[in-house]
């Protein structure tokens, strides 16, 4: 599966960028450098000036691809969710049981780390960025404007796919999207708490604790 995923050409909405970063070596360096820098110093400290130094280019060159660092974060998180949707499709293909497909989806959402690379993207570092920074992509004043222009399409599509599985299991369940988005965001928060604020969680160093917790919540909700 990884070999296939590595060759994927993910297409994102054009509103996220000025020029498609996948169309040139410099654009790919901007994506790679952004992941590296945000992972190392955090999104709040991330600037195009620092990025230009990181990739040995100029701020003007970066602005030709992205109009702001917020667009960079939106691009990276959208890329991540598109990639996750592909992974979900591969994990659930030819699986007839919706219960088994749901279990695989929960495993995908709650896995502790990703030790893979795809083209110019360090997926492990991008996964950590999503855990630590992705809420900053939509907890913003401009959220409605960005949503109107498709900035969150990939995330919503990922949630929709799993919501559809839930409705296969329990067609009259009223809260499939709420349940899925709660698991996604909650798993990220619990992973973050386990790394930085352990008194707010009960992971106790267990790699499977977050998965087990959210599996219990989902399966009980659907009984």
- Cα 141–185–191 angle (5° rounding)? 125
Nearest residue to 99 via CA among 170, 15, 24: 170
Give the domain ranges of the chain: 74-221
| Structural element, H or E, at residue 122 | strand 121-122
pLDDT reported for residue 130: 97
Give 3-state DSSP helix, strand, coil % of the chain, rounded to 5. Answer: 70, 0, 30
The pTM assigned to this predicted structure is 0.92
Q: How many helices (H) and strands (E) does the chain have?
A: 11, 2
DSSP string, 134-183: GGGGTSSTTHHHHHHTTTTHHHHHHHHHHHHHHHHH-TT-S-HHHHHHHH
Indicate the angle between helix axes 176-196 and 153-169, nearest 10 degrees: 120
CA distance 146 to 183: 23
> What token pair was written down for 13?
């909405």
pLDDT along the chain (223 residues), means of 10: 53 94 95 97 98 97 98 97 95 96 97 73 94 96 96 97 98 98 97 93 84 96 93
- Cα 191–193–16 angle (5° rounding)? 60
pLDDT reported for residue 221: 96
């Amino acid at each position: 599966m990884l070999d296939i995923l590595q060759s994927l050409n993910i297409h994102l909405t054009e509103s996220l960028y000025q020029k498609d970063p996948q169309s040139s070596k410099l654009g790919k360096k901007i994506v790679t450098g952004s992941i590296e820098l945000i992972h190392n110093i955090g999104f709040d400290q991330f600037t195009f000036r620092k990025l230009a130094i990181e990739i040995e280019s100029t701020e003007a060159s970066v602005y030709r691809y992205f109009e702001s660092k917020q667009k960079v974060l939106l691009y990276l998180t959208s890329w991540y969710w598109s990639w996750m949707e592909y992974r979900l499709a591969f994990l659930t293909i030819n699986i007839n049981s919706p219960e088994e497909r749901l279990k695989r989806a929960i495993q995908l959402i709650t896995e502790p780390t990703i030790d893979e690379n795809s083209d110019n993207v360090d997926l492990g570092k991008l996964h950590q960025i999503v855990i630590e920074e992705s809420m900053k992509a939509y907890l913003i004043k401009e959220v409605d404007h960005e949503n109107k222009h498709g900035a969150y399409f990939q995330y919503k599509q990922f949630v929709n796919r799993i919501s559809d599985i839930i409705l296969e299991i329990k067609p009259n369940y009223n809260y499939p999207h709420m349940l899925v988005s709660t698991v996604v965001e909650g798993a990220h928060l619990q992973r973050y708490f386990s790394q930085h604020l352990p008194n707010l969680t009960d992971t106790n160093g267990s790699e499977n604790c977050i998965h087990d917790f959210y599996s219990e919540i989902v399966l009980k909700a659907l009984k």
